[in-house]
Structure 1
Amino acid sequence: MKELVAPLPPQLNIADFGMDTISLSGTLPDKLAAMRRAGFSQVMLSARDLTGHAEGVDAAIEAVRASGLRVTGFQVLRDFEGLSGRLHSYKVDIAKAMLRMCHGVGAPVLLVCSSTSAHATEDREAMVRDLRKLAMLALPLGIKVAYEGLSWGRTIFEYTAAWDLVSRADMPNLGLCLDSFHALATRTAPEFIDDLDPQRIFLVQLADYMWNEIRTVEERITTARHFRVFPGEGVHSDAVADIVLRLDRLGYRGDYSFEVFNDDYLQIPPDTVAQRARDCAVWLGEDVLHRSVPLPGSLRLRAVAA
């Protein structure tokens, strides 16, 4: 059978780092091809990548498979925990549909964001029960659930609080998603990372922004959705580097995904944006983590570090 994509050059082996499709303009195949040309080997997908594909969900899944990119994870299930009655039943149905797509595209992780709904209870025991139920739904499909504390979440808005719920739910396939943007926006002390269990961190998302502080929740939301930049491009480079170094010392050996919502990036060619992301990956891998560029035939960056 003819190979669908060319192998990655060994000097571009940046396999610990991946891109989110949200950063790029164009069709799904355009985005996948740009990532591939930049040297990435993995991609973080959105449900809209599948449902919005012109030829349908099955064709979108085939495009992902043909790209040769490994799927980092699938996003995003919102406002799931803390609801009751018909709202809860409705969200369970949505979760089942998301899990089926997640499984269909071969994503090992479903990302779930903390609830912002005014209809959700602030009872943390109820939230724990809901997260446990979601993990149970994902278990037969072999999918992990990564729970993230949105910095504008109604009750859970820091990774420390998200970790508390994950720990109390105590499900083997329920873990934490740590997002550097939200940690920086809430000014959560990075020292708390040292108390996490690296085996229960299922995903790390990285991004920065261009101003020193965010004064209001509204500004936080606007910055998150329109003005993020890649790590190393913003004014919090030292803080992002510190997060990555703490995770590495902790023993985290999972994936890093660049989740960068930026309106400007959507107005320039995807290859240009993907190259910026590649420069970021090289900075993190070589200058921050001091991982060598692998020689031909050598192991992944994380293996070199070990």
Structure 2
Amino acid sequence: MALSSSSLSSIPLSFASVSVGTPDTPLESKLRAISSAGFQAIELGFPDLLSFAKTYLKKDMAEDDYASLCTAGKEVKALCKKHNLQIMMLQPFSNFEGWAPGSQEREDAFKRARGWIEIMHAVGTDMLQVGSTDSPNISTSLPTLANDLRELADLLAPHSYRLTYENWCWATLAPTWSKVWEIVQLVNRPNIGLCLDTFQTVGSEYADPTTPSGLISTQSNLQTTFSASLTSLTTSIPPQKIFVLQISDAYQPPSPLSPSTLNGLRPKGRWSHDFRPFVYEGAYSAQCVEFAKAVLGTGSRGWVSVEVFDGGVDGKDVHRERVGVEEFCKRGMESVRRLLEECVVSE
């Protein structure tokens, strides 16, 4: 379908709070910079809520101290209102689906879900982002994963809350857009949809940080296969089932990452953690733009959100202090605007 400049200009724009500054950057400084750059909302990262709650309440903060997190969350909501920002979603809710029935892991996952729902109410968001689990000891049955997500969707539904499910390219069973879409269809609930991400799809179907080329070396005709996958996305996913499009690029590491799991993270998980700059600042910009065109080509005009984890080309700048937060957020807006301009396709 045609992607007109006028239709893309109305897309609402968001920025992930955890992408800005360092873990020590005051949350209000992040919010001020995001708002000043022209974004309308944030993805509220749980680590930022934890950090803010510790400072605001002047005490150490456990991840399951939901009463305190909700108290702090109400103040975060007020700060966002002060800076004319919505809280588009709470993220990232991970390692939720696929645990064995009756297991402690499954019980803990649903306890955590109920706590996060309380936080959603406190901060005033209606959407929870769930990343496709990377836990190694889960069921290999997609219907089982779908059953867990259906239960979660049903917990959210009485509050008119939504679940947006994202493929993480290092996930155990659902690293691709097509696999999470298959699971979402099995869930078959109106309040579950997709969080699609340029990095995650390029990282699952085109790029590979463990090879010398930075590309998936086991596939011939890689670009042809990638493009065919995106055509399938455009023609198979209803636009109303795409809740969020996240955008970031990726650096090709200066030397291939070890294929081993290190510190609990698979290589693509480590790559995601430190090698994700703005689109046009990495090695895979053309593929990121192609993916965004495919998503917008469905007719989706929902949230477009910047989520980057830029540790520099060597991935070692873990504190990400190379530029101030104001300049950083302005660069993010420039990246978004350029990407949307390049997505314009005339009839």
State the TM bucket, normalised to the shorter chain. 0.7 to 0.9
Distance 1:288 1:186 in 2: 22
| Per-residue CA distance 1:57-110 (angstroms, 9 max, x = gap) | 132232122221122211011111111322211110101111221222122210
Amino acid at match of 1:210: Y
Distance 2:330 2:98 in 1: 41
Q: Partner residue of 1:260?
A: 308
| TM-score, normalised relative to structure 1 | 0.85
Amino acid at match of 2:306: F
> Following TM superposition, by how much is the alpha carbon of 1:289 offset from its aligned partner in structure 2, in angstroms?
2.8
Distance 2:79 2:197 in 1: 28
> Following TM superposition, by how much is the alpha carbon of 1:17 offset from its aligned partner in structure 2, in angstroms?
2.2
CA contact (8 A) 1:207 1:258 kept: yes
> Following TM superposition, by how much is the alpha carbon of 1:129 offset from its aligned partner in structure 2, in angstroms?
0.8
Runs (5+) with no aligned partner, structure 1: 1-12, 291-304
Amino acid at match of 1:116: D
> Following TM superposition, by how much is the alpha carbon of 1:266 offset from its aligned partner in structure 2, in angstroms?
2.3
Amino acid at match of 1:260: V
- From 162, 183, 188, give the equivalent of 1:165: 183
Task: Give runs of aligned pairs for residues 74-153 of structure 1, distance below 5 A.
Answer: 74-84=90-100, 85=102, 86-153=104-171
> Following TM superposition, by how much is the alpha carbon of 1:28 offset from its aligned partner in structure 2, in angstroms?
0.8
Tell me which moved more, 40-49 or 170-179: 40-49
Q: Partner residue of 1:36?
A: 35
Task: Give runs of aligned pairs for residues 203-282 of structure 1, distance below 5 A.
Answer: 203-211=244-252, 216=259, 218-263=266-311, 264=317, 266-267=320-321, 268-282=323-337
Amino acid at match of 2:32: A
> Following TM superposition, by how much is the alpha carbon of 1:14 offset from its aligned partner in structure 2, in angstroms?
7.7
Q: Partner residue of 1:7?
A: none
Amino acid at match of 2:327: T
Runs (5+) with no aligned partner, structure 2: 1-8, 58-71, 206-225, 261-265, 312-316
> Following TM superposition, by how much is the alpha carbon of 1:174 offset from its aligned partner in structure 2, in angstroms?
0.8
| Per-residue CA distance 1:159-188 (angstroms, 9 max, x = gap) | 111110100110000111111111011116
SS of equivalent residue, structure 2 residue 156: helix
> Following TM superposition, by how much is the alpha carbon of 1:41 offset from its aligned partner in structure 2, in angstroms?
1.4
The answer on 1:190 being equivalent to 2:230 is yes
CA contact (8 A) 1:180 1:206 kept: yes
CA contact (8 A) 2:169 2:203 kept: yes
CA contact (8 A) 2:18 2:47 kept: no
- From 66, 70, 74, give the equivalent of 2:86: 70
SS of equivalent residue, structure 2 residue 245: strand
Query: Deviation above 3 Å: which 4+ runs of structure 1?
Result: 212-219
Distance 2:296 2:203 in 1: 22
| Per-residue CA distance 1:203-251 (angstroms, 9 max, x = gap) | 1111101229977474322220011011122222221111122222210
Q: Partner residue of 1:59?
A: 75
CA contact (8 A) 1:73 1:108 kept: yes
Q: Partner residue of 2:216?
A: none
CA contact (8 A) 1:82 1:130 kept: yes
Distance 1:246 1:214 in 2: 29
Amino acid at match of 2:48: D
CA contact (8 A) 2:11 2:301 kept: no
SS of equivalent residue, structure 1 residue 155: coil
CA contact (8 A) 1:149 1:158 kept: yes
Question: Superposition RMSD on alpha carbons, in Å?
Answer: 2.1
Tell me which moved more, 114-123 or 280-289: 280-289
Q: Partner residue of 1:297?
A: none
- From 22, 31, 50, give the equivalent of 2:18: 22
SS of equivalent residue, structure 2 residue 195: strand
SS of equivalent residue, structure 1 residue 253: coil
Amino acid at match of 1:73: M
Distance 2:269 2:30 in 1: 25
Distance 1:114 1:247 in 2: 19
Distance 1:23 1:209 in 2: 14
Distance 1:117 1:185 in 2: 19
SS of equivalent residue, structure 1 residue 115: coil
CA contact (8 A) 2:130 2:165 kept: yes
Q: Partner residue of 1:46?
A: 45
Amino acid at match of 2:270: T
